[in-house]
Homo-oligomer: A and B are copies of this chain.
């Protein structure tokens, strides 16, 4: 392992619950010699990747990271980063794939790709906001977002879009539980009367739900084999999209969407 990697890996030890770490903490966490660790810390700090608290001498993430993140966001915004991911999935599956981000109590479509591989296609409007309880994307977000927040959504009156739209909180809770168990949300004609869809959550920094990735198939083409194929692709997609955003899958759920790497 190169010196650069050793130094950069130290940055990974910071998190919401560990905002500051001292020299001794790093020695424990890395298992490396104190002198080595100290030199790495000093060098990271000299470059602004860490800064040291005057009083406690503890280290925290530095401002240089903010600057670089600003550059990345301006030059490669989430949308342009996710587009190739969505397109690759769509081409692989031959079906419509879309990525939406959570905004308040609705999902806002960010990118979609339709391979036009078949005669019948799913209609998708990027300007239309998606409800949480009636789409597979939404179900995925409800299942892996903050539970108290999800309860709040279920508590409000829920609109019905088709005969298959579920609006009963108790049954929705069961569907959320099933999604939490499998890692994949699946809905049959709940929003559009001709569409069957599956979705996975996508996580942002600090392992919070950022949005969802979903595949929508015309009912006429849906089937067990196709469903299995899509689920497998989405499991990968969850990890790829999360990684592209600099996000991370919550530790507790990591087994649901195995790391390809």
Contact = CB atoms under 8 A, between A and B. Distances in A.
A247 interface: yes
Contact of A4 (B43, B61, B205): B43
A201 interface: no
Nearest to A54: B84
Given A65-B72, A70-B206, A71-B14, A4 B244 contact: no
A4 B246 contact: no
Interface stretch (A5-13, A90-98, A213-221): A5-13
A68 interface: yes
A193 interface: no
Contacts of A74: 16, 205-206
A60 interface: yes
Contacts of A67: 205, 246-248
> Which residue of A7, A14, A48 has the most chain B CB atoms within 10 A of its CB atom?
A7
Contacts of A7: 4
B72 A245 contact: no
A26 interface: no
Given A7-B4, A68-B65, A76 B60 contact: yes
A173 interface: no
A15 B66 contact: no
Contacts of A73: 66
A75 interface: yes
A71 B62 CA distance: 11
Nearest to A74: B16
A75 B245 contact: no
A44 interface: yes
Contacts of A81: 63
A139 B245 CA distance: 37
B63 A245 contact: yes
Interface string A238-252: 000001111110000
A77 B255 CA distance: 32
8 contacts: A3-B3, A4-B7, A9-B47, A14-B68, A16-B74, A61-B75, A65-B69, A69-B246
Given A2-B3, A2-B43, A8-B49, 8 more contacts: A9-B47, A14-B68, A16-B74, A20-B75, A62-B72, A63-B72, A69-B205, A69-B246
